[in-house]
Amino acid sequence: MDRALTTHAHLQRRWDAQGRKLAFNATTPAGWEAWRDELTAKLRELTGYDTMLEAPLDVHITERRDFDDHVRERVEIQTEPGVVMSLYVLIPKTGTPPYPAVLAPHGHSSGAKAGTAGDRTEPEISETIDRHNSDYGLQLVCAGFIAFCPDARGFGERQEEAAKKEGILESSCRWINNMAYPLGQTVTGMWTWELHRLLDYVESRADVDTDRIGCAGLSGGGLQTLWATALDTGRRIKCAVISGYLYGYKEALLDMHENCSCNYVPHLYEYVDMGDIGALIAPRPLLVETGTRDPLNGASGVANVTSQMDIMRRAYALFGAEDKLAHDVFEGVHMWHGVEAIPWLKRFLM
């Protein structure tokens, strides 16, 4: 009998034996609310969300550029003391303010806010936009939304020094998590906190209809959308689109453990699978995009996504809101599809 010298198989068995301590199993709306409160508190603890520090937004609009169909502002806001988020705000030239708004967090290798805003100044960013259709901030402003395209911590203008050496598409996630884990924090918690701070800024603008705010993102932007919407206890995010990021953790992240460290939260698998986190969003409108040939889905492909959609469907069914959860399975790879996503956002926010 061969003796195993590696750890992967052992951790697969541990996953199977562990169980999900806070798996969604409510049978009534009141039961869902009690479960939501318990799980939200646990996820805030695990991600380090509760350790983030309040600070004034200290808003600075540093640039305003005019394009054919929109105006683009470059804005800086303070998310924690001495921590600044850079972002683009895309303001439509059609329609009348206040506009419905969509937060458009970016994914990896996207060029950060420049990519989602459709800024093709850098050839590498132009190429990745073409490959992943990832200028969805630009697509959203052209559809009549005011779009907020932030640089996530560790990306774009906010790259750590080690990442800058690798080029503009490189992320800083592993270096930030190396620093953060021993301090009880995670990249996931930082990103979630920062999108909530961005919401604070969005709500402060006179050109935004604060009753019509959505969030939509691809890949790492889908991660940010999932967590920011799930932990949005004030229900400020009214509608969401998660693209290329909704699947069972075991296949997609435990087995595919070479994925970016921003996906990993200490102790997370002891409590939930991804569908449980998604169930926190109910009954707000949520659309999930899945490419049939997206390798990030895991070994079983789309089936690893539908297993999590089934968890979420049970939560939506408790509220009679089955029509507010949709799954756009398209023939394609890891990319923003948008064919159903933008009409979905328009349906619920316009």
Mean confidence (pLDDT) of the chain? 97
Residue 140: CB atoms within 10 A of its CB come to 32
Asked if the structure places residue 8 within a domain, the reply is: no
Question: What pLDDT does residue 248 have?
Answer: 98
CATH number of the domain at 49, please.
3.40.50.1820
Query: What pLDDT, in 10s, does the model give residues 185-221?
Result: 999 999 999 999 999 999 999 999 999 999 999 999 9
Say whether pLDDT at 143 is over 90.
yes
Within-domain flag for 72:
yes
The answer to whether residue 14 sits within a structural domain is: no
Q: Note the pLDDT tens digit of each residue in 298-336.
A: 999 999 999 999 999 999 999 999 999 999 999 999 999
In a domain, 130, yes or no: yes
User: Is 307 domain-assigned?
Assistant: yes
pLDDT at 154 over 90: yes
Instruction: Identify which of 294, 299, 130, 141 has the alpha carbon closest to the alpha carbon of residue 219.
Output: 294
Confidence (pLDDT) at 1: 52
The share of the chain scoring above pLDDT 90, in percent, equals: 96
pLDDT of residue 4: 79
pLDDT (tens digit, 9 = 90+) per residue, 236-248?
999 999 999 999 9
Here the tokens at position 146 are: 């005011």
Q: Given a cut of 90, is residue 2 above it in pLDDT?
A: no
pLDDT in tens, 13-26: 999 999 899 999 99
Pairing mode of beta strands 239-243, 146-150: unpaired
Does the residue 18 lie in any domain? no
Question: How many Cβ atoms are within 10 Å of 40's Cβ, its own excluded?
Answer: 18
Provide the 3-class DSSP secondary structure of residue 74: strand
Amino acid at 144: G
* Residue of 194, 266, 267 lying closest to 227 (CA atoms): 194
Predicted pLDDT at 19: 87
Helix (H, G, I), strand (E, B) or coil at 96: coil
SS3 102: strand
13 domain residue, yes or no: no
112-115, long-range: CB within 8 Å, 24+ apart, which pairs? Answer: 112/151, 112/152, 112/155, 112/156, 112/157, 112/158, 112/168, 113/86, 113/87, 113/88, 113/137, 113/149, 113/150, 113/151, 113/156, 113/157, 114/88, 114/156
Is residue 336 one of the residues assigned to a domain? yes
- List the domain range (segments joined by +) for residue 132: 23-349
Nearest to residue 285, comparing CAs of 316, 247, 246? 316
Q: How far is CA 314 from the centre of its chain?
A: 22
**CB-based contact 313:281 (threshold 8 Å):** no
The number of domains in the chain is 1
Contact (Cβ atoms closer than 8 angstroms) between residue 123 and residue 169: no
Q: For 236-282, how does the pLDDT look when each residue is reduced to its tens digit (9 = 90+)?
A: 999 999 999 999 999 999 999 999 999 999 999 999 999 999 999 99
pLDDT score, position 251:
97
Report pLDDT for 185: 98
Share of the chain above pLDDT 70, in %: 99
